[in-house]
């Protein structure tokens, strides 16, 4: 067992823990297999409850490795409203604070910028 895994196990042995890893698909594919094995080891040998939350795109190797665990799939349409609200708020704020074209933005341009950002975000 690697030193990092031993350290995490020793920490979670005294308190329940939640481990959160975002964008696992962006990790080098060879390294993420090691990471998944280490996480499985931590959950198996810990004396306490360890919950793990991973976020990732649907890479085939990850999907096959994680089929035995509960999964929640979020598709681009699921967070469309959140993205629309965030982009609209940030553009309005940037205009008000004169960070976008010194605040000289027509309503048409503002609408075009917002719509383009939302469209190009593709759910992210």
Give the ranges where 51-79 is alpha helix by DSSP (H). 60-65
The pLDDT value given to residue 61: 78
pLDDT on residue 105: 95
What pLDDT does residue 75 have? 80
Please tell me the pTM assigned to this model.
Answer: 0.66
Supply the pLDDT for residue 79.
87
Going residue by residue through the chain, which has 124 residues, state the pLDDT in tens, using 9 for 90 and above: 688 899 899 988 888 999 999 999 899 888 888 999 999 999 999 999 999 999 988 887 787 888 888 888 888 788 889 999 999 999 999 999 999 999 999 999 999 999 999 999 877 7
> What is the C-alpha separation between 96 and 33, in angstroms, rounded?
47
Find, among 119, 113, 120, the residue nearest to 93 by Cα. 113
* Run of H or E residues at 52: strand 50-54
């Amino acid at each position: 067992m690697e030193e990092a895994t031993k350290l995490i196990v020793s920490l979670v042995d005294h308190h329940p823990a939640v481990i959160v890893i975002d964008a696992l698909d962006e990790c080098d594919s060879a390294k993420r297999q090691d990471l998944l094995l280490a996480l499985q080891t931590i959950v198996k040998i810990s004396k306490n409850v360890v919950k793990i939350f991973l976020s990732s795109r649907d890479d085939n190797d990850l999907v096959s490795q994680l089929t035995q665990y509960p999964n929640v799939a979020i598709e681009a349409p699921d967070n469309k409203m959140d993205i629309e609200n965030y982009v609209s708020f940030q553009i309005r704020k940037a205009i008000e604070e004169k960070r976008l074209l010194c605040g000289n933005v027509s309503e048409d341009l503002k609408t075009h910028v917002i719509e383009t950002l939302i469209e190009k975000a593709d759910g992210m």
